């Protein structure tokens, strides 16, 4: 099957940026008890590449959520009820693939705050330049992208294309 769409962000660009983010995150959390919560499945590759560069004391959790059908948000987040732990005293970093309407990260942040985290921050690989439905800002962002549906490096279209090593745009 030919590779679908056009490359927006290449594999070397992603690698370079992830290393820079990891360095900044490591510096910020020095001496603090860090728990990384990765949102599955979209953040899978970004999460793993980032975690490889973080300190050995870092705790890892994965939350499996779903809000997209095809190329559209359903406006509902499935899976949130079954996720969570007690994060008392922990500094929690939420890692996601993409910040779009802001709905997912707004809900996840609210939930983690309610689980007694000492601090909650957000790191996303991509920040889509769209009007947000919720006021969410990521503390660390890999790349800002225009309002396009993207695939690859964990991002999918109906479960396909996640394994592409770069970010691509499908023809509209
Ligand atoms: P919201 O709208 O809640 O979106 O900020 C967050 C989740 O929606 C998915 N999403 C995408 N998935 N290509 C994808 O493959 C996209 O362009 C895209 N935009 C949003 C993604 O799962 C993200 O965590």
Q: Could you tell me the distance, in angstroms and rounded to a whole number, from the CA of residue 54 to the centre of ligand 1?
A: 25
Q: Which residues pair with 128 in a beta bridge?
A: 145
Residue owning the nearest CA to atom 9 of ligand 1: 68
Q: What is the DSSP letter of 2?
A: P
Residue among 133, 155, 156 whose CB has most ligand 1 atoms within 8 A, to mutate: 155
Look at residue 82 and tell me whether its pLDDT is greater than 90. no
pLDDT, average across residues 24-37: 98
Can you tell me the distance from the alpha carbon of 167 to that of 61, in angstroms, rounded to the nearest whole number? 24
Q: How far is CA 107 from CA 10, 157, 164, in A?
A: 31, 23, 28
The answer to whether 100 is a known catalytic residue is yes
124-148 pLDDT, tens digit per residue, is 999 999 999 999 999 999 999 999 9
Q: Which residues pair with 36 in a beta bridge?
A: 60, 93
Q: How far is CA 15 from CA 12, 22, 53, 67, 96, in A?
A: 5, 11, 11, 27, 16
Q: Could you tell me the distance, in angstroms and rounded to a whole number, from the CA of residue 43 to the centre of ligand 1?
A: 10
Look at residue 46 and tell me whether its pLDDT is greater than 80. yes
List strands edge to edge, sheet with 167-169: 6-9, 167-169, 150-151
- CB-based burial of residue 25 (10 Å sphere; 0-12 exposed, 13-18 middle, 19+ buried)? buried
Contact predicate 45/153, CB 8 Å: yes
Q: What's the whole-number average pLDDT of the chain?
A: 94
Specify the pLDDT at position 66.
85
3-state secondary structure of 62: strand
| Res. 75 pLDDT band, cuts 50 70 90 | confident
Q: Which residues pair with 71 in a beta bridge?
A: none
Give domain limits for the chain: 6-62+90-167
Peptide bond into 41 cis (omega under 30): yes
Instruction: Provide the CATH number for the domain formed by 6-62+90-167 in this structure.
Output: 3.40.50.2020
């Amino acid at each position: 099957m030919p590779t679908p769409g056009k490359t927006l962000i290449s594999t070397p660009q992603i690698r370079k940026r992830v290393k820079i983010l990891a360095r900044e995150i490591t510096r910020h959390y020095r001496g603090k008890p860090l728990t990384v919560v990765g949102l599955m499945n979209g953040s899978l590759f970004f999460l793993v590449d980032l975690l490889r560069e973080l300190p050995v004391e870092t705790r890892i959790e994965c939350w499996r959520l779903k809000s997209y059908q095809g190329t559209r948000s359903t406006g509902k987040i499935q899976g949130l009820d079954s996720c969570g732990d007690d994060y008392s005293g922990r500094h929690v970093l939420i890692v996601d693939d993409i910040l779009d309407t802001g709905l997912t990260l707004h809900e996840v942040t609210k939930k983690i705050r309610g689980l007694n985290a000492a601090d909650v921050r957000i790191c996303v690989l991509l920040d889509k330049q769209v009007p947000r439905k919720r006021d969410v800002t990521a503390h660390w962002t890999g790349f800002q992208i225009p309002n396009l549906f993207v695939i690859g490096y964990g991002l999918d279209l109906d479960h396909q294309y996640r394994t592409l090593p770069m970010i691509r745009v499908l023809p509209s």
